[in-house]
Amino acid sequence: MDRSARAASLLPSLPSGSRILIIRLRSIGDIILLTPALRLLKEWRPDLPVTVLIEDRFRALLENNPDADEILLLEAGGRLAKLGSRLHILRRIRQEKFQLCLNLHGGPTSATLTAWSGARWKAGFAHFRRRRLYDFLVPDARTILNQTKIHTAEHQASAFFHLGLPRAGIPAARMIVTAAQRAEWAEKRARLGLSAEKPYVLIHPTALYATKQWAPENFAALGNYLETEAGLCTLYSCGPGEAGVLAAVEKAAGKKPIRCLDGAPLGCFAAALTGARLFVGNDSGPAHMAAALGLAGVVIFSSSSSIIWGPWRPRAPWRIVQNPFDCNPCPGDRCYRFAQPECIQSVSFEQVRSAVEAVLAETATPAGSS
């Protein structure tokens, strides 16, 4: 039996009850875009218990997702705390006697956990380091799917297809919001002075790199347009340690203070998304959360490829705003072509406003669903 046939027989041949460990430590977008593949796997073989290992800070992304039977969490903290968490996780993994460990992350921590997992079979992408520790190397997704352009959701699903999951259409991503998270958001919403009856737009002006962040003054102008011309309330959000961006937006907005949801837990943030009329933000994890929750939105792209990282099969209207540059995509940590990141700076207020107007015209009522 050749290597491809051997790989394709793995998942179909696993005995009922065989446990599968999937390692996808971070980040928001990657974890959200793993959920379509999890759904395909569980619909095909509900008899295989699936455990997903992620970092603790992302637990809300998979909590109550019926396609993940168990979530294992790596905790953050200092050096000793991290070491303790990893040793604890390794003991848990070895106790559960997994038949298959599929590493979708590829970093040194995930490779070490895979190597010491005790799983009967170990699989990872062929471009990962430490190739020798894997029994099955998953080739490039473009080869598996016979496509020249691959979305991240397709990339992750391709590993399962290579290992024997029957080829099928890859569904939309999904995220589940709990009643407790909705209640937490309801309290915060009241404190922010947002009426339960009046719709609001959630604006997320932050991103991982400066090359991905539309200017604060543009977001301030967009908020003013939504409030004064579209008759909608606005709520600006950011993650932990990103409050400086909201301060810059507020400064650009002038005398009127802005409503801020600063560093809320991911579950509460997800609940805030479900209540919004629209999401507007840079290419970042929250855009994937919004799409997975059924929200309409506008996402501003710059250094990243919108083909690879755009919202995956959103259930509500979305618009991507991006100007073409032949240097796209690039790593994004800095601009490799110009003195300034022209890809994000070239996106005009008029472009984004037009996209927002188009989506608002297609969404007469709040879209949020879990």
Share of the chain above pLDDT 70, in %: 98
Taking residues 239-255, report their average pLDDT: 93
**Distance of alpha carbon 72 from alpha carbon 93, whole angstroms:** 9
With H, G, I as helix, E, B as strand and everything else as coil, classify residue 38: helix
**Distance of alpha carbon 289 from alpha carbon 299, whole angstroms:** 12
- 251 pLDDT higher than 80: yes
Q: What is the DSSP letter of 338?
A: S
Pair 254, 160: CB distance under 8 Å: no
Share of the chain above pLDDT 90, in %: 88
Residue, of 2 and 201, whose pLDDT is higher: 201
What pLDDT is recorded for position 66? 96
Over residues 52-83, the pLDDT tens digits come to: 999 999 999 999 999 999 999 998 777 777 78
For the chain, give the mean pLDDT: 94
Under the banding of pLDDT at 50, 70 and 90, the label for residue 369 is: very low
CA dihedral sign of residues 317, 344, 221, 349:
negative
Do the first three CATH levels of 3-162 and 180-362 match, i.e. the same topology?
A: yes
* CA–centroid distance for 175 within its chain: 10
What pLDDT is recorded for position 86? 84
What pLDDT is recorded for position 368? 47
CA triplet 124, 151, 158: central angle to 5 degrees?
35
- 3 pLDDT higher than 80: no
What pLDDT is recorded for position 1? 62
Q: Which of 276, 301, 302 is nearest to 289 (CA)?
A: 276
Pair 67, 31: CB distance under 8 Å: no
What pLDDT is recorded for position 85? 84
Over residues 299-344, the pLDDT tens digits come to: 999 999 999 999 999 999 999 999 999 999 999 999 999 999 999 9
CA dihedral sign of residues 290, 296, 300, 301:
positive
Q: Which of 288, 237, 227, 290 is nearest to 259 (CA)?
A: 237
**Distance of alpha carbon 170 from alpha carbon 153, whole angstroms:** 8
Taking residues 285-289, report their average pLDDT: 97
* β-pair partners for 51: 21, 70
**Distance of alpha carbon 204 from alpha carbon 299, whole angstroms:** 10
What is the residue extent of each domain of the chain? 3-162, 180-362
Under the banding of pLDDT at 50, 70 and 90, the label for residue 84 is: confident
Under the banding of pLDDT at 50, 70 and 90, the label for residue 285 is: very high
* β-pair partners for 366: none
Over residues 92-138, the pLDDT tens digits come to: 999 999 999 999 999 999 999 999 999 999 999 999 989 999 999 99
- 263 pLDDT higher than 90: no
* CA–centroid distance for 1 within its chain: 37
Mention every residue, 6+ apart, whose C-beta is less than 8 A from residue 255.
Answer: none
**Distance of alpha carbon 103 from alpha carbon 106, whole angstroms:** 6
- Radius of gyration of the chain from Cα atoms? 21
Structural domain 180-362, CATH architecture: 3-Layer(aba) Sandwich (3.40)
Which superfamily is assigned to 3-162 in CATH?
Answer: Glycogen Phosphorylase B; (3.40.50.2000)
Pair 330, 336: CB distance under 8 Å: yes
